[in-house]
Structure 1
Amino acid sequence: MDDDGCRGPVAADAPVALCEAHLAAAGEWADAQYGVTDALPSPCRLCGSRLGVRYPSGWLCAVCEWRYGDLPDDDIAPPRVDVVYYLRYDDRVKIGTSGNPRQRFGAIWHDELLAFERGGRALEQRRHVQFAADRFPGTEWFRRSDALTAHIAVLAAGVDDPWQLHARWLSEALAARG
């Protein structure tokens, strides 16, 4: 490499006209500047994600940006994130809300968590009104109508596991605390 520019052979498929040595140097610079997305060595302790960004100074979780290896402060209460949940039991769906869904689900007989929607009681009540024609009277359980199934499909689109979405909301709420 010389100060007058790149004089080595340039590969025909190179994205820019640089020799292999200069292209490698540019790649290393970009990795240091912008990080490299990769699998974390173990799940993020804050949100559970396995996706991270590696910098020369260390790893950050790609979901919540928690510095890999840092321990969450157990003295700080976790943030409250209210969600509307959709649980399936047989051919019925329960639309409810909770700030602590793991604990709440322990008290509800169900087959599957279908989706989460971020929101509290007001959103839950809107969903109860929206799907009132399918509601079992006096309960929070609904028939699996086409409209309800379509709504759940929209919420679940691109979400492999609703718990990962919930973990991201929790980590975002914690990060917003500062």
Structure 2
Amino acid sequence: MPTSACLVPGCRRDVDADAPVRVCTWHLAVGADWAAATDGVTDLLPTPCRLCGSRLGVRWPSGWLCAVCEWRHGEPVDGELPPPRVDIVYYLRFEDRIKIGTSAQPRQRLAAVWHDELLAFEPGDRLVERRRHAQFADARFGRTEWFRRSAALDAHVSGLSAGVDDPWALYARWTSEAIARRG
């Protein structure tokens, strides 16, 4: 419902009552287009990023960039570059036990380990894994990588998984960041 005239000099269009500023819809659209060209617009990519698999992108007048790894959408991935090594510590649940392990190839590793649920990922290599084994040694089954659930271990896993809907998305982000650091 129009309430007043547009503040832009020479414009006589009506302004909608719910407009954020007292300018007409046409001038608001012009401003939004200008802001999009200056700041980019975050949106879903037309197809997943070829480099990291993310669906989140930023649309610029010159094209799309992946919001995670900043790869220009549509550009070919250099097949000669080896994938970066991203070591992670993983937490798996099987029945009432939790396995704390590490891998640089978590998809292959987790496919080989019997488990009910992937609980969390943490960036780190064997050193971080050894620290976690020592940290939760009270609940460890012998010299294995399996642990009884405990309040401390549950709290640690909860902290790692807080705000993370999918640990694989986190791993994809760490991989894309490693690619970006490599230049």
Confirm or deny a common fold (TM above 0.5): yes
TM-score between the two structures when normalised by the length of structure 2: 0.89
Q: Unaligned 5+ residue runs, structure 2?
A: 1-5
The whole-number CA distance in structure 2 between the counterparts of 1:5 and 1:173 is 53
Aligned residue identity for 1:170: T
Do the aligned partners of 1:87 and 1:112 also contact (CA within 8 Å) in 2? Answer: yes
Q: Does 1:57 align with 2:62?
A: yes
Task: Give the aligned partner of residue 122 of structure 1.
Answer: 127
Tell me the distance in 2 between the aligned counterparts of 1:37 and 1:28.
13
Instruction: Report deviation, 1:43.
Output: 1.2
- The total of aligned residue pairs comes to 178
Match of 1:168 among 144, 162, 173: 173
1:15 corresponds to: 20
Asked if 1:103 is matched to 2:108, the reply is: yes
Give the Cα separation in 1 of the matches to 2:65 and 2:88: 26
In the alignment, the residues of structure 1 paired with residue 151 and residue 107 of structure 2 have an alpha-carbon distance, to the nearest angstrom, of 28
* Secondary structure, counterpart of 2:101 in structure 1: strand
The Cα offsets for residues 15-38 of structure 1, whole Å up to 9 and x where unpaired, read as 222222221110111112212221
2:138 equivalent among 124, 133, 138? 133
Distance 2:150 2:96 in 1: 10
Runs (4+) off by over 4 Å = none
Deviation sequence 1:123-173 (CA, Å, 0-9, x none): 111111111111001101001112211111111111111111101100000
CA distance in 1, matches of 2:11, 2:161: 50
Moved more, 122-131 or 133-142: 122-131
**What is the CA-CA distance between 1:13 and the residue it aligns to?**
2.2
Judge conservation of contact 1:6–1:22 (CA < 8 Å) in 2.
Answer: no
For residues 80-135 of structure 1, the C-alpha deviation after alignment (integer angstroms, 9 at most, x for no partner) is 11111101111111101111111222332222211100011221111111111110
What displacement does 1:8 show? 3.2
Counterpart in 1 of 2:71? 66
Q: 1:25-71 CA distances to partner (integer Å, 9 max, x unpaired)?
A: 10111112212221111111111111111112111111211111112
- Percentage of pairs with the same residue: 67
Q: Which amino acid aligns with 1:138?
A: R
Q: Cα distance, 1:79 vs. partner?
A: 0.5
* Contact 2:57-2:67 within 8 A present in 1 as well: yes
In structure 1, the gaps of 5 or more residues are: none
Q: 2:48 aligns with which of 37, 43, 46?
A: 43
C-alpha RMSD of the superposition: 1.9
Indicate the residue corresponding to 2:3 in structure 1. Answer: none
CA distance in 1: counterparts of 2:171 and 2:103, whole angstroms: 12
Q: SS of the counterpart of 1:10?
A: strand
